Structure 1
Amino acid sequence: MSDINLRVRRVAVLGAGVMGAQIAAHLANASVEVILFDLPAKEGDPNGVVQKALANLSKLSPSPLATKGKAAEIQAANYEQHLPLLKHCDLVIEAIAERMDWKHDLYRKIVPHLRDDVVLATNTSGLSINALAEALPPERHERFLGVHFFNPPRYMHLCELIPIRRTDPRIVEELEAFLTTVLGKGVVRAKDTPNFIGNRIGVFSMLSVMHHTKRFSLSFDVVDALTGPAIGRPKSATYRTADVVGLDTMAHVIKTMADTLPNDPWKEFFVAPDWLKGLIEKGALGQKAKAGIYMKQDKDILVLDLATQTYKPQTGKVSPDVEAALRIKNPAERFQALRASADPQAQFLWACFRDLFHYTAYHLEEIADNARDVDFAIRWGYGWMHGPFETWQAAGWKTIAAAITAEIAAGETMVDAPLPKWVTDGNRAGVHAAHGSFAPRDNTFRSRSKAPVYKRQLFPDPLIGELPHPGETVFETPDARCWHQGDDIAILSFKTKMNTVSAGVLDAVNRAVDEAERRFKGLVIWQHGEPFSAGADLTGAMAALQANKIADLEAMVDRFQQTSMRIKYSLVPVVAAVRGMALGGGCEFQMHSARTVAALESYIGLVEAGVGLLPAGGGLKELALRANAAAQASSSGDVFPFLQKVFQTVAMATVSGSALEAKELGLLRQSDVVVFNPHELLYVAKSEAKALAETGYRPPATARAVPVAGDVGTATLKMMLVNMLEGRFVSPHDMEIGSRIADTLCGGDIERGQTVDEQWFLDLELKHFVALAQMAKTQERIQHTLTTGKPLRN
């Protein structure tokens, strides 16, 4: 067993294909030094293969790169010239094509160049890890294992770890910690079986759906309507997912299951349907070929009609019976309604769930240590709201088990393999409980990992049956709750829809700061889920406008501004813990905090221009102050270039594509902290608040003499708007909004270089906000957003 701790400074990724390049990109996102290897190019730059892969990263959507500049941080290399670079690497991830012989050849080639303490991992999606290890010297086995990222690696939370028989357990734990905290992954330990956990269950689910599609004579679009958000799964559902993955890839995965699982009772179903083979033969491979099961024609998405072999408009809808069943909140009653219905769609759904439950229970002991790992693998790897065991348990474990048993006996299930005895042993009510999840090998319930890394997850992703400790309430209102976890940091969480900022939230923020100053060392604003905040609640503003109560509107805006200032000048540090959207007022709250701790996948922006307004909760004021500070630190001392950059961001209602991009846009400070695992967000935010408090935190000095760009700056920014208007990039009302944003950022109609204080900027925000709010086109935008949830450009 190794006595050397794993410290990862530099990683080599072998293979610059789709997965290898994106794994390298995500390592670069996390500021890990990366060397990306591939074969030497046949002509030109020997690193041409890798360079092309790096160039392609910026073309992918969603982007693998948290900021465009991250691609330049990846070092390109090839196997002929640069293998000696491997001696500088702490971790090597092999991600070449799924060929056992190719992987073996590569291992033999790189072994002489590896350090004794390096960890070697393979990103195979289904090949045997123990069989891959056969190409390595025995002394390498302790530090070799499988590490299966799901595509796309930046966004998919799941990463499966698959040790071989001789892998050092401590290496597994330390690599798990690296993947969890540094790369933000949800790690599941899988057994070395074909396709591991996620793809074994996920692909079977798709095969089951395909089987029952034919059995119930349903169209592809109807099935996708049934197997997407309607049952808590992604919009891509089943067949759209196959198109995105690639129909040739799908067929390859199915063949792999057939080749590697000859004793699986469901093996007769591991065959690509004839229609799938036919599409592949035609080259209709899905999204990458512009046609597959679906085809885009102009703005319409057409679906394949198997009977005519032509594409037609989608007409598939969920039937009224199924819609009624799915509206039932109680899962047990919902499943009972589906089973009892004679509607073909209802029977289809029940059959798909039934056979999924059957397959997953039958194979649990073979593929995983416990039921929790299966549910997390499917949730994190396939984007389902609930895993198969969670769904079964919520629907009534005993009732569903009895129904499956009866239908096995009646020959209605896909195969007649019996359910494992543990399913019906004793008085079992399910596989998840507060004390752990069922492990079939020893018939016990296994608690979550006690590894040190998981102490950072104060609120880990919960399973059914788990009830995280709610903490102790300081105060609670209909709109927010202030609470703590028995320490000296208070936490404020909103309770409004989309965590919007209502009048009640404003009251709660002020009260929470008061309580924190009185009883605690710091305050963290943190939400139990996404988003951080979708912004101000526009309903109250619209009501005031419709009643022509302009004084009330002014009072609302002033209250918002003073609340932002209360956050900024609190005597204890206020830390904003952001994940998901932080828009409008939500963005302004975090801008006024002493520090923001943001999950990587944070989408931050001052988006008020989209509803015909401008930021008036202190956001423009803060951007003006930050621009001034940047100017003072620059060689020229000129504030205008810094104002110009943030003006474009606000006027175009730009939302960052990541927390790192939010720093580039000036919406986060360089001193703000980016966390890759969202479940560690509260822990890090509390740690930051404690650290600030322990170092004698004092609020910033009030800005009293801020030099402004003045009327000259405003005029220059307006000229930009004129050009955009003439190019039809903006509407006349957009120009009106942009002009007022420019006036505010530049300090109004005063001379360049004149100094003002913070309140001056706040007054300009208020003046322009109220003026815009009274305009007909702004009210049209607000009403459209409230009605549809989408912006209107008028």
Structure 2
Amino acid sequence: MSNFIVKKVAVLGAGVMGAQIAAHCINARVPVILFDLPAKEGPKNGIVLKAIENLKKLSPAPLGNKDDAVLIQAANYEENLDLLQECDLIIEAIAERMDWKHDLYKKVAPHIGANTIFASNTSGLSITALSDGFDAELKGRFCGVHFFNPPRYMHLVELIPTGATAPHILDQLEGFLTTTLGKGVVRAFDTPNFIANRVGVFGMLATMIEAEKYGLSCDVVDDLTGAKLGRAKSGTFRTADVVGLDTLGHVIRTMQETLKEDPFYGAYATPPVLAKLIESGALGQKTGAGFYKKVGKDILRLDAAKGDYVAGGGKADELIGRILKEKDPVKKMQALRASTNPQGQFLWAIFRDAFHYIAVHLESIADNARDIDFAMRWGFGWNVGPFETWQASGWQQVAAWVKEDIDAGKALSSAPLPAWVFEGPVAQNAGVHTPQGSYSPKKNAWVPRSDLPVYRRQAFRAQLVGDNGASGKTAGTTVFEDDAVRIWHQDDEVLILSFKTKMHVISPEVVEGMKRALAEAEKNYKGLVIWHADAAEGGPFSAGADLQAMLPLFMSGGVKAIEPEVSRLQNAHMALKYANVPVVAAVAGLALGGGCELLLHAAKRVAALESYIGLVEVGVGLIPAGGGLKEIALRAAKQAKGTDILQFLKETYMHAATAAVSKSALEAQQLGYLSADDVIVFNPHELLHVAKVEARAMYDAGYRPPLRAPFPVSGRYGSATIGAQLLNMRDGGFISAHDYKLGSMIADVVAGGDIEPGSLVNEQWLLDLERKYFMELLNHPKTQERIMGMMQTGKPVRN
């Protein structure tokens, strides 16, 4: 095995995509040079510098920490082409024009290093045609690498070889994209718009055609085709507005120009309503109007018949909403197919169009059915891919219905479904996904998953309907399991604790599970990893303490009955901190309140880039009482090393007082919730692997828990100084009187209470203070209002 290490990347083109790809390389700590044309006026790198500055303003944020923008090196094609020599990977990301790309390639080709991989981030132009004019040597190192927008958040990257691309180049690039940049790689054939855009844009066109046929407005269609279908909540028309109607028009034009022989060619016509909007310059979100237009606080929708904007907010009919809630996919599809409601008929029609299209095109656009499903899930935000939906809904029955509609002339093309749909392996299996692999019409065989070494880092790969792959919910050997937790292992000396509660909240049963897991780990294992089975699918690490579980206690025994539970939580966290084997928190998604406190007490944290961490208790009128404030005070004392502790407290204190939540793991390091030596993982599928490696390494290096030692606090001087700042905020109308009260209590805890500045305290002293104030607040009517509000609406009440 030889290491392929990307020491530096060059991105050619500082437009929207190029700049954001560069930003994501910086997130991943890969040095990057961003190139563009020399500016006509001012500094030569003006265009690039402006693009870098703009990265700080974009939302969602391309950078995990916006201060990192300065790490992107600016360059231009006139003065800096020699810098390309030192790059291991060059990604071209300029506008989608073959002639412009060829001009640029002529300019840069002489400066590309002998072993550099050269790739184009085109969203649909032919990679083979782009490589025209390269010598054989460079052709071997050229391919397509298509990121989806926004590149930090969209999991998909399509990797597209030409006939001349050297296979090892693709393998190396797949490893880099998967682990370093955290992507899901799908290899596509060099066909127009590749896989995701080919299927996804056809789907958008079909939706627009069927919406017109059934007389549905764009807001109703978006309600039907968004979260209710398990797809991006923006639905169809809103997604088009966000992408940009000109961009969508361009992708459609590529299909019109390059797919003249396609049996679905008729469906590639630009919908008249879209053509009209583009012509009038209404290009969607970037111009303030498209299918929707924001006027003040109101969002208006386009009424195509009137050619004007009218009040929006149309929703799915209740009956259709009920059908879409049906858990059994077979019953759901049957109900849509049989529906006489125009919305139901519309939904059946878009499913039928998608199934028809992917069946006809699978052989020409993808190696196997899995690649189409993952492309749609990772590139378009679908929870379930189109082949998976078909298979789950009853393969044979759905195929028969699609055939019926084609024969009756109801489909968008008269092309018959291919024979493999009805006979051979697929018919016998009743679908395209099996435990052996996914179906490839070209090979008439099941194609197994890639066995590249990079995938050994993924204990559980993304699953498909029908493939029965290992799942983190059931794999390995269970040591103990109840409704709250599962304690298990994979025969590798590390014990795993997984929560099973909703949002992985910390209930009294979870606290018991933590105790049990720790005792088992100390007795028989090298370490304990806290990891949850849905970490890679966007599940939370923990949304905090289980308020719901406290209600019965509160009703039966009042506030007093809750105090022992708070003590138990504090003790559980302290037990993790002082365990005799390392405890590693494998964090992804939300880690709020008690979830944040839990990870603060682990010996180490391994966090996915998309980790959103914070002490948010003030939102429910409480203060953190699971040791979070105690940890803030302890860390400030360590950082101060005998100097003024308050300097180190002010910032971190404020994060708790304002319920600040990090927007990435990189920002969580800045906020102090993760430390500099915690590990940030870019691919959430690798989280468990890395956490276990860390736990074993710490144990093998002779791990000992920290010694319990007293530490200095800033005392009454600290709480008075912070209190003055809070007073100004209250009097300036920035915070309410109750927020002021909460802030003062938090200040008092982190300062160590009403004692002399510089006094030495132990951790228990601060835990007792946390608990005292927590109990006092539980009795407060304003806090009770906030708790009830949060439980009823899920939103914080400001009072």
* TM-score scaled by length of structure 2: 0.97
Residues 4 and 117 in structure 1, CA contact (< 8 A), matched pair in contact too: no
Residues 562-605 of structure 1, C-alpha deviations (whole Å, 9 max, x = no match): 00001111111111001000111111111100111000000001
Residue 732 (structure 1) aligns with: 737
Paired with 1:499 and 1:94, the residues of 2 have a C-alpha distance of 42
571-580 or 465-474, larger mean C-alpha shift? 465-474
What's the CA shift for 1:627?
1.0
Contact 1:709 1:746 in 2 (8 A): yes
Indicate conservation of the 8 Å contact 1:773/1:779, yes or no.
Answer: yes
1:630 positional shift? 1.0
Counterpart among 696, 705, 715 of residue 699 in structure 1: 705
Letter in 2 for 1:741: I
Q: Distance in 1 between matches of 2:555 and 2:731?
A: 33
1:563 & 1:239 partners in 2: Cα distance?
A: 49
Task: State the match for 1:439 in structure 2.
Answer: 440
**1:510-521 matched pairs, under 5 angstroms:** 510-521=515-526
Residue in structure 2 matched with residue 492 of structure 1 by the alignment: 497
| Equivalent residues in 2 for 1:605-616, closer than 5 Å | 605-616=614-625
Residue in 1 that maps onto 2:668: 662
- Matched letter for residue 682 of structure 2: F
Q: Distance in 2 between matches of 1:543 and 1:770?
A: 16
Deviation, 1:540, is 3.2
- Give runs of aligned pairs for residues 757-768 of structure 1, distance below 5 A: 757-768=762-773
The one-character-per-residue Cα deviations of 1:439-498 (angstroms, maximum 9, x if unpaired) are 111111111111000000001111112231511100011111101112211111111111
CA contact (8 A) 1:577 1:596 kept: yes
Code of the aligned partner of 1:642: F
Given candidates 540, 544, 551, the residue that maps to 1:535 is 544
Q: What is the distance in 2 between the residues matched to 1:241 and 1:630?
A: 47
Structure 2 counterpart of 1:648: 654
Structure 2 segments unaligned to the other structure (5+ residues)? none
Kept in 1, the 8 Å contact 2:362–2:368? The answer is yes
The residue identity in structure 2 corresponding to 1:669 is S
Q: Give the Cα–Cα distance (whole angstroms) in 1 for the partners of residues 16 and 605 of structure 2.
A: 33
Identity rate of aligned residues, in percent? 58
Matched letter for residue 383 of structure 1 = G
* Contact map agreement 2:140 2:165 (CA 8 A) in 1: yes
Among 722, 746, 751, the alignment partner of 1:717 is: 722
Q: Which amino acid aligns with 1:731?
A: S
Aligned-pair CA distance for 1:232: 0.5
Shift of 1:550: 2.4
Distance 1:116 1:256 in 2: 33
1:792 equivalent among 789, 794, 797: 797
After TM superposition, give the deviation of residue 5 of structure 1 in Å: 5.5
Q: Distance in 2 between matches of 1:261 and 1:770?
A: 69
Per-residue deviation at 1:327? Answer: 2.2
1:303 aligned partner: 301
- Residue of structure 1 aligned with 2:126, choices 120, 128, 134: 128
Report SS of the residue matched to 2:511: helix
Aligned 8 A contact 2:529 2:691 in 1: yes
Question: Residue 781 of structure 1: CA displacement?
Answer: 0.4
Q: Does 1:84 align with 2:82?
A: yes
Q: Is the 8 A contact 2:559 2:778 kept in 1?
A: no
Deviation of 1:531 after TM superposition, in Å, equals: 0.4
Native 8 Å contact 1:542 1:779 kept in 2: no
Are residues 1:774 and 2:779 paired?
yes
2:683 counterpart of 1:680: no
Q: State how far apart, in whole Å, the 2-side matches of 1:414 and 1:206 are.
A: 13
- What is the CA–CA distance in structure 1 between the aligned matches of 2:190 and 2:689, rounded to whole Å? 33
Q: 2:750 maps to which residue?
A: 745
Cα deviations across residues 133-154 of structure 1 (Å, max 9, x unaligned)? 1132221111110000000000
Task: State the match for 2:590 in structure 1.
Answer: 581
Could you list the structure 1 runs, at least 4 aligned residues long, displaced by more than 6 angstroms after superposition: none
Query: Which residue number corresponds to residue 507 of structure 1?
Result: 512
Contact 2:299 2:312 in 1 (8 A): yes
Distance in 2 between the 1:316 and 1:443 partners?
46
1:78-111 per-residue CA deviation (whole Å, 9 max, x = no partner) reads 0000001111111111111111111111111111
- Alignment map for 1:231-630 (pairs within 5 Å): 231-426=229-424, 427-465=428-466, 466-468=468-470, 470-529=475-534, 530-547=539-556, 549-630=558-639
Change (3 A) 1:597 1:4: closer
Rounded Cα–Cα distance in structure 1 between residues aligned with 2:744 and 2:133: 67
Does the Cα contact within 8 Å between 1:15 and 1:36 map onto a contact in 2? yes
Match of 2:140, SS?
A: helix
Does the residue aligned with 2:529 lie in a helix, a strand or coil?
strand
Matched position secondary structure for 1:629: helix
8 Å CA contact retained: 1:545, 1:773: no
CA distance in 2, matches of 1:326, 1:16: 42
* Aligned-pair CA distance for 1:523: 0.7
1:546 deviates by 4.3
Q: Residue 106 of structure 2 aligns to a residue in which SS? A: helix
Query: RMSD over aligned Cα, in angstroms?
Result: 1.2
Secondary structure (helix, strand or coil) at the match of 1:414 reads: coil
Measure the CA separation in 1 of the matches of 2:449 and 2:396: 25
Whole-Å separation in 1 of the counterparts to 2:276 and 2:105? 37
Q: What is the rounded CA distance, in whole Å, between the counterparts of 1:767 and 1:755 in structure 2?
A: 20
Aligned-pair distance for 1:547? 4.4
Q: Distance in 1 between matches of 2:763 and 2:429?
A: 64
Amino acid at match of 2:488: W
TM-score normalised by length of structure 1 = 0.98
- CA contact 1:587–1:604 (8 Å) conserved in 2: yes
Q: Alpha-carbon deviations, 1:152-191, whole Å to 9, x = none?
A: 0000000000011111111100110000000000000000
Question: Could you say what secondary structure the match of 1:92 adopts?
Answer: strand
Q: Give the Cα–Cα distance (whole angstroms) in 1 for the partners of residues 184 and 192 of structure 2.
A: 21
Q: Aligned match of 1:28 in 23, 26, 29?
A: 26
Q: Is residue 150 from structure 1 mapped to residue 148 from structure 2 by the alignment? A: yes
Superposition deviation, residue 315 in structure 1: 4.2
CA contact (8 A) 1:597 1:684 kept: yes
What runs of 5+ residues in structure 1 fail to find an aligned partner?
Answer: none
Note if contact 1:597-1:681 (Cα within 8 Å) is conserved in structure 2: yes
Alignment partner of 2:486: what SS? strand
Partner AA of 1:631 in structure 2: A
SS across alignment from 1:283? coil
CA–CA separation in structure 2 for the residues paired with 1:375 and 1:92: 29
Q: Which amino acid aligns with 1:336?
A: Q
Aligned ranges 1:165-244 → 2 under 5 Å: 165-244=163-242
Distance 1:733 1:547, change over 3 A: farther
Matches of 2:263 and 2:786 in 1, distance apart?
A: 58
Q: Which amino acid aligns with 2:394?
A: G
Q: Deviations over 1:590-646 (max 9, x none)?
A: 1100111000000001100111111100111111111111111xxx72211110010
Q: 2:569 and 2:249 mapped to 1: Cα distance? A: 56
Give the distance between the partners of 2:745 and 2:411, measured in 1 at CA: 66
1:321 CA drift (Å):
2.6
- Classify 1:81/1:21 alpha carbon distance in 2 versus 1 (closer, same or farther; 3 Å): same
The alpha-carbon deviation at position 341 of structure 1 amounts to 1.1
In structure 1, the residue corresponding to 2:145 is in which secondary structure? strand
Contact kept, 8 Å, 1:209 with 1:352, in 2: the verdict is yes
Segment of structure 1 superposing worse, 613-622 or 724-733 = 724-733
Contact kept? 2:352, 2:402, Cα under 8 Å: yes
1:460 partner letter: R
**Contact 2:391/2:432 (CA < 8 Å) preserved in 1?**
yes
The match for 2:116 among 115, 118, 123 is: 118
C-alpha deviation, 1:537, in angstroms? 0.6
Q: Residue 239 of structure 1: CA displacement?
A: 0.3
**In 1, Cα distance between equivalents of 2:665 and 2:76:** 32
Residues 477 and 488 in structure 2, CA contact (< 8 A), matched pair in contact too: yes
